[in-house]
Structure 1
Amino acid sequence: MVDWIILAIISLVSASAAVHWLLPRRRHRGDNFGLSSPSSVFDTVFLFDGDRLISHSDIALDGFEEVRQWPDLRRLLKRDFPTFPETPDPIQKEGNLVVPAIDCTVNRDVLCEWIDGIVRVQLRDDAERPETIHRDASDPIRQAMDRAPYPVWLLDHQDNVRWCNAAYISLVRKVRGPDTDLTASLFPGSDEDTRLSAKTRVSISPEESENKLWFDLTLVGHPEGHLCYAVDINAIVDAETAQRKFVQTMTKTFAQLSIGLAIFDRNRQLALFNPALIDLTTLPPDFLSCRPSLSSFFDRLRDQHMMPEPKNYRTWRSQMNDLLEAAEDGNYQETWSLPSGSVYSVSGRPHPDGAVAFLFEDITAEITLTRRFRSEMDLMQSILDKLADAIAVFGDDGTLAFTNYAYQRLWGESSDIGFDSDSVLEVTRGWQTQCAATPILGEIREFVEMRDNRAEWSGDLRMRDGTSLTCIVSPLHNGATIIRFSTDAQVIRPAEIQQFSA
C-alpha cells in the first residue's frame, strides 16, 4: 500500500514538472504586442492534444477565451497568420513549424512544436524567434522585398493573400482603412483567362472617393498559388487621358473645318480625318475608318475620279512617290482640275514623328469668280478698243489702270499694264513730250490725286504734229478718273461717259 502511495506522489510531481516545463516563463513588459488589438496576445501558449485544447498560459486573452478546439484558434489567427495550418497534422510531420505574420512590417510569428503527441502553439515576438528560421533583417533579399516601391503579394489557390510586402500593406490601408483584413485580396484574382507573366491594366477605388488608382498587374506561377506584382501607372493613365482629350478637342475643331484633312502616321496609315474629307472626296466612311495606306487612299481617289486622270499607271506611281517626297519636305502644293468641273487645292505638310498631313480645299467658287472676272475684264477691254476716242483710266491710287487701242495709237504706248503701273506723274510727263506746253497736264495730275470736290471738266491740247485734241476729265466711283482724248468736233456728253464707266 505504501508503494502505491509513493508511486502516485512521484507521478503527480512528474506531471507537474512537465507542465511547468511546457509553459513559458512570465515576462513583465510595458510594450504593446497586439497585431490588431490593444491586448497583449504574445507570449501566449496553447497545448493541444489532437484538435482538443488541454491547457493554455494564464495571460489574459481578449477574444481567445472561446478557444476550445484547433479550428477555434485558427479562426482567430487566420487574419494575421493566413498560413496557420488547418489541422495539427503538418506539425506532426514537420516537428517544428513557424508561421509568419502576413504583415511583414511587424516582427511577430507563431511557433508550433510537436512534443510527444502534444502540439505546443506559442505566439511570439521577435525576441523569441530562432535566428535560423528567418532571414536577418539586414539581408539584401529581404530588404529588396520589404523596401520595394511597388506592391508584391502571394495569392493562394483560393485567391487569399498568404504574404505581402510593405508597399502592399500601405496601399491596402490607404484604400480600405488602417484596420483591414490583409488576407482579402485588394486586386482581382486569377482566372482561366489570365495569362501568366502578362501585364493587365486594373483599377481600384479608395473608399469614399471616386478617383481611381491604376496599376499594371502581373501574375507569376507559384507552387502555393500566384506571385503578384503591381506597378503604379497613374502618371501614364493621366497622360493618356490628357492626350485623348486633346485629340477629341482637335477632332471637334477639325470637324468644323470646310477643308478636308487627312493625316497619315509614320507607317503611312491614315490616322485622322474629318467629315469635310468625306464630303470633298466622296470616299466611303467605312473605307477611311479602316485606316487605308497612303497608296490605297490615292488609288481610291483615282478610281472615284476625284483627282486628275493620269496618262498611265507607271507615271501615276512615279507622281505619287514625288508627291510623298514633296509632302515630307512641306513643298507639295497643287491645283487639281477634276472631270466634274470642280477645282481642288491640295497641299502636303510634314508633321512631327514622320507623319504627313494632306489638306483638300474646294476652290471652285474662287476659280469660277476669277474666271468670270477675267471674262468681264476682257469684255470691257474689247469694248474700249472699239471706241474711236483715246481713253485712259486711273485708279484711286493715281496709277494707270486701263487704256484702249486708240490711246495706244495716239500716244504710242504698249497695251501691257503690269503690276508696276505708271503713276499719273509719269504718264503726263510722257504726254508733255508730245504736246505743246500747257497747264492742263498739271491740272490733270492734281485732279487725279484729289479726293473731294471733283467735277467733270475739259480742255484743249495741241500736239507737236499740229493735231488738236479735246481732253475731257471725269471722276468715277471710288476715286477713279477717266480721261478721254477726242479729235472729233462732236464730244460725247458727260452722262454718256458716266453710264459707260458704270
Structure 2
Amino acid sequence: MEDLLILAIGAGAAAAFMAAALILFTLCPRRSQLQHSGTPETVLLFRNGEVVDFTQDAAVLFDRTVLTGMGWDEVRETLLPGFPDLPEELPDRPLHWRSPHVGNAELWADPAGSRLHLRLQCTPDGAATLFRARCQSDEYHRLSEMSRNAPDALWQTDDDGQLIWYNEAYEHLCASTGHEIDGTCPVDIELPSKRVERSTRISIKPEGQPQRWLEVVSRPVEHGWVHYATSIDSLVNAEMAQRNFVQTLTKTFAHLPIGLAVFDRDRQLVLFNPALVDLTHLPVDFLSAKPNLLSFFDHMRENRMMPEPKNYASWRDKLYDVVSAAREDRYCETWNLPSGLTYKITGRPHPDGAVAFLIEDISAEISLTRRFRSELELTQSVLDCFDDAVAVFSRLGVLTFSNAAYRAQWKCDPDSAFAEITIVDATKEWQQDCQPSPIWADLREFVLTLRDRQGWEAQLTRKSGEQLRCMVQPVAAGATLVRFTSLPVQAEETAQPDNRRKAVG
C-alpha cells in the first residue's frame, strides 16, 4: 500500500513539473529556441508593444547590445529602408513583406494576443557576399556617421518625391521653417524630366530669422534622387553688394561727358554709358548685344568715327598690341576725324584682365589751343617786325617771351636753351656787354617784386659804344616787359651819358 502511495506521489510530481516546464516554455522561450532550424532567421519577441526577447544576431542588426524595452517605432525605423511598407502601428494580424531593395529578404509578423513574433529571413547569397559585407561594414558606419553629421542638409527621395532618408541638418532645416519632417519638403525644388543633375538656387525665410539662400544640387540615384543643400548667404550678399555697386557706378557714368567702354578678359563689351552712344553714334541694341573688341572698332570705322588707317587689315592685327598697351596703362591717342572733330582715346587696365577705353571729345579744347597758338604766332610775327629788342619775364623772373631783335642783339636763343633763363641770368649777360651801370640790381628787384610798380627807363652804353635806352614796364599777370631801343647817331654825339633811372608816365 505504501509503495502504491509513493508511486502515485511521484507520478503527480512529475506531471506537475512537466506542466510548469510547458508553461515556462510557452511564456519565456529561450534564445536558442528562437533559432530556426532551416534558413537563418532573426527573431524579435514583443509583449505589450516592447521587445522582451531576441536572437543573438539581432544586436548586429540594431547596432546595440541591449534590445529589451525597444518599441515598435525604433524597430520600424531600422527596418524601413528594406521594407518601406511597414505600418506605423504594431501589426495586430499576421503579415508578410518582401523587400524591394534587398534580394531574398522577407519579414513575418505573427501576433498572438499581447505577443508578437517578428521574424526576419534572408537567404544566404554565398560566402563571397557575406565576406564582402563584413569587410564593408566599417566603411558603411564611417560614411553613415559622416552623412548624418554633415553641416549641410542631405536627404533622399524616391521617384515620386517621397522622403526616404535625411540627416540631422535636414531636421534642423525643417524645424527652422516650421515644416514636419514627414510632411512637405521645406525646399521647393522642381526635378527635371530627364535624370540629369540640376542645381537650384532658392531662398527660405526661417521664423524670426533673416532670409537665407541655399543652393540645392539634385543628383539622380538608383532609387530616386539625392539632394544636397549648401548655404550660399555670403555669396548672394556679395553678388548683391556688387550689383548695387555696379548700379551706383552706372548712374555716375551716365552723367559723364566722356564715353566709357569696358571689355572683359574675353574682350566682350560688358559696360558702356550714354556718352559712348552720343560720341560713336553706335546703335544701342548693338552695344547691348555685348560685341567683341574687333566688332566694336569695325562699326566705328563704318560710321567714320575713327581715322581711316592706311592698311586696315594690319591695323586690326595691331589691336592686340593696343589692348596690351591699355592693360599696361600706356595707351593714349588723338583721333582727327573726317568730320572735323577730335577725339582723345585712352586705355586703362581693369581687374581680372579687363580693359576700359575712354573716348573724350576734345574738339573745343583743340580749337582753343589752335586759336591760342595762332594768336601767339601772330603776336610773335608782329613783334619780330620791330627793331627794338623786347623781352618779357614772368612774375617769377623767368624769360617767357622775346623777339628776333632781342635774340640778334644779345646773341642768345631762349628756345634752344637747356634750362630756363631767369632775370638773374639775363642781367648778367647784359651787364657783361655794357659799361658799368647801377640799374642792374634795381632791374632784378623790380621784376621779382609783387607790389604795385611804376615803369621807368635808363640809358646804357654798350662796350661797343652803342647807346641804348632801356625801358622797364609792368604788364598783366605780374610780368615785366624790358625793351632796348638804339639811340640815333646824332643823339649820341650831343647827348651826355645818363645812367640814372627816370620814371615813365
Pair in the same fold by TM > 0.5: yes
Q: Offset at 1:442? A: 2.9
Asked if 1:382 corresponds to 2:405, the answer is no
Question: Which one is further off, 196-205 or 315-324?
Answer: 315-324
Partner of 2:427: 428
Q: Which structure 2 segments of 5+ residues have no match?
A: 1-21, 30-44, 53-68, 74-79, 101-105, 119-132, 492-503
Partner of 2:183: 183
Contact 1:435 1:461 in 2 (8 A): yes
Letter in 1 for 2:177: V
CA distance in 2, matches of 1:201, 1:360: 40
Q: Offset at 1:207? A: 2.8
CA distance in 2, matches of 1:321, 1:141: 53
TM-score normalised to structure 2 length: 0.69
Partner of 2:260: 261
Q: Offset at 1:173? A: 0.9
Map 1:86-101; keep pairs closer than 5 Å: 92-94=95-97
Asked if 1:159 corresponds to 2:165, the answer is no
CA distance in 1, matches of 2:50, 2:406: 128
Q: Give per-residue Cα distances to partners, 1:359-405, cap 9 Å, x unaligned.
A: 22222222222211111111111221222322222111112222222
CA distance in 2, matches of 1:390, 1:362: 41
Map 1:392-403; keep pairs closer than 5 Å: 392-403=391-402
Letter in 1 for 2:342: V
Partner of 2:196: 196
Partner of 2:109: 114
Contact 2:391 2:403 in 1 (8 A): yes
Contact 2:94 2:110 in 1 (8 A): no
Map 1:325-336; keep pairs closer than 5 Å: 325-336=324-335
Partner of 1:281: 280
Contact 2:262 2:357 in 1 (8 A): yes
CA distance in 2, matches of 1:193, 1:213: 25
Asked if 1:205 corresponds to 2:228, the answer is no
* Matched position secondary structure for 1:361: strand
Q: Give per-residue Cα distances to partners, 1:169-201, cap 9 Å, x unaligned.
A: 121112217xx3533211225455575322222
Query: Alpha carbons of 1:386 and 1:215: their partners in 2 closer, same or farther (altered >3 Å)?
Result: same
Q: Give per-residue Cα distances to partners, 1:236-294, cap 9 Å, x unaligned.
A: 22332233233333333333333222222221111222222222222112111111111
* Matched position secondary structure for 2:370: helix
CA distance in 2, matches of 1:299, 1:156: 56
Q: Offset at 1:158? A: 4.8
TM-score normalised to structure 1 length: 0.69
CA distance in 1, matches of 2:193, 2:93: 33
Map 1:219-298; keep pairs closer than 5 Å: 219-223=219-223, 225-298=224-297
Identity %: 41
CA distance in 2, matches of 1:358, 1:45: 74
Q: Which structure 1 segments of 5+ residues have no match?
A: 1-13, 30-41, 47-77, 98-110, 124-131, 491-496
Contact 1:160 1:185 in 2 (8 A): no
Partner of 2:173: 171
* Matched position secondary structure for 2:236: helix
Asked if 1:24 corresponds to 2:41, the answer is no
Query: Alpha carbons of 1:460 and 1:294: their partners in 2 closer, same or farther (altered >3 Å)?
Result: same
Query: Alpha carbons of 1:120 and 1:114: their partners in 2 closer, same or farther (altered >3 Å)?
Result: farther
Q: Offset at 1:483? A: 1.8
CA distance in 1, matches of 2:348, 2:275: 18
Query: Alpha carbons of 1:27 and 1:359: their partners in 2 closer, same or farther (altered >3 Å)?
Result: closer
Question: Which one is further off, 195-204 or 281-290?
Answer: 195-204
Question: Which one is further off, 185-194 or 467-476?
Answer: 185-194
Contact 2:47 2:115 in 1 (8 A): no
CA distance in 2, matches of 1:390, 1:297: 57
* Matched position secondary structure for 1:473: strand
* Matched position secondary structure for 2:252: helix
* Matched position secondary structure for 2:226: strand
Letter in 2 for 1:375: S
Query: Alpha carbons of 1:367 and 1:222: their partners in 2 closer, same or farther (altered >3 Å)?
Result: same
Letter in 2 for 1:144: M
Q: Give per-residue Cα distances to partners, 1:222-249, cap 9 Å, x unaligned.
A: 53x4333322222322332233233333
Q: Offset at 1:112? A: 8.1
* Matched position secondary structure for 1:139: helix
Query: Alpha carbons of 1:355 and 1:118: their partners in 2 closer, same or farther (altered >3 Å)?
Result: farther
Partner of 1:370: 369
Asked if 1:311 corresponds to 2:334, the answer is no
Partner of 1:412: 411
Q: Give per-residue Cα distances to partners, 1:322-365, cap 9 Å, x unaligned.
A: 32332233322211111122222212233333222222222222
Letter in 1 for 2:97: E
Q: Offset at 1:221? A: 4.4
Query: Alpha carbons of 1:236 and 1:401: their partners in 2 closer, same or farther (altered >3 Å)?
Result: closer
Contact 1:112 1:122 in 2 (8 A): no
CA distance in 1, matches of 2:117, 2:139: 22
Decide which of 138, 141, 146 is 1:139's aligned counterpart. 141
* Matched position secondary structure for 1:267: coil
Query: Alpha carbons of 1:112 and 1:486: their partners in 2 closer, same or farther (altered >3 Å)?
Result: same
Query: Alpha carbons of 1:305 and 1:408: their partners in 2 closer, same or farther (altered >3 Å)?
Result: same
CA distance in 1, matches of 2:351, 2:305: 28
CA distance in 2, matches of 1:198, 1:485: 92
Asked if 1:214 corresponds to 2:237, the answer is no
Question: Which one is further off, 331-340 or 150-159?
Answer: 150-159
Question: Which one is further off, 87-96 or 145-154?
Answer: 87-96
Contact 2:392 2:401 in 1 (8 A): yes
Query: Alpha carbons of 1:90 and 1:405: their partners in 2 closer, same or farther (altered >3 Å)?
Result: farther
Contact 1:448 1:480 in 2 (8 A): yes
CA distance in 2, matches of 1:113, 1:93: 5
Give the CA RMSD over aligned residues: 4.2
